[in-house]
């Protein structure tokens, strides 16, 4: 199910694996089949089409196919849930570099508190948008969470770019880069 706001993957091609965890001591190699929980049209953001969602699902499925899993529409071993979000990232830096003395020389007692204030003061050095694509995999029979991963990328300010399938495939490759079942042939 596509939840929350959704995805912005940039055309820059640099993706960061934010997290990748096997949960509940799951043996992911023991699973053979999967299905992706279908998207509810009401939860898809206005800037994504159902075709965009299908492309995201296709790219995720491709990573699972490479690992020997088979897609089934009923009674899968694993159910894959997809979530996407876009968040604003604000970067800061020190207002005054450490040891600069800021050009002022105050006499006691003001110097004691002024140094502590300015040593922690921050200014905004940049604002950007970051898109995050997440997968959660659940053991369908036991109904327990067995794997989660997130990949992020700085997003272009001009909008969403899930149309570039090669970039989407790069993002999902990073998303599954620490998945414990390696692609076949590796």
pTM greater than 0.85 (yes/no): no
Assess if residue 106 is contained within a domain: no
What pLDDT was estimated at residue 49?
Answer: 78
| CATH number where 24 lies | 3.30.160.670
In a domain? residue 28:
yes
Question: What's the number of domains the chain is made of?
Answer: 1
- pLDDT tens for residues 3-23? 333 334 443 457 889 899 999
Cα 68–82–33 angle (5° rounding)?
25
Residue 96 is predicted with a pLDDT of: 61
pLDDT tens digits for range 106-119:
555 555 555 555 56
């Amino acid at each position: 199910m596509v939840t929350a706001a959704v995805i912005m993957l940039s055309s820059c091609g640099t993706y960061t694996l934010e997290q990748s965890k096997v949960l509940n001591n799951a043996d992911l190699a023991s699973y053979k089949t999967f299905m992706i929980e279908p998207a509810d049209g009401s939860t898809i953001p206005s800037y994504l089409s159902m075709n965009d969602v299908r492309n995201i699902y296709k790219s995720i499925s491709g990573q699972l196919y490479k690992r020997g899993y088979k897609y089934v529409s009923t009674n899968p071993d694993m159910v894959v849930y997809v979530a996407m979000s876009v968040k604003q990232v604000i970067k800061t830096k020190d207002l005054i570099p450490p040891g600069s003395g800021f050009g002022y020389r105050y006499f006691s007692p003001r110097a004691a508190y002024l140094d502590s204030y300015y040593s922690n003061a921050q200014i905004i050095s940049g604002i950007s948008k970051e898109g995050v694509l997440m997968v959660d995999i659940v053991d369908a029979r036991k109904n327990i969470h067995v794997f989660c991963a997130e990949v992020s990328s700085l997003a272009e300010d001009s909008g969403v770019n899930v149309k570039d399938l090669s970039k989407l495939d790069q993002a999902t490759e990073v998303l599954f880069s620490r998945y414990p079942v390696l692609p076949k042939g590796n």
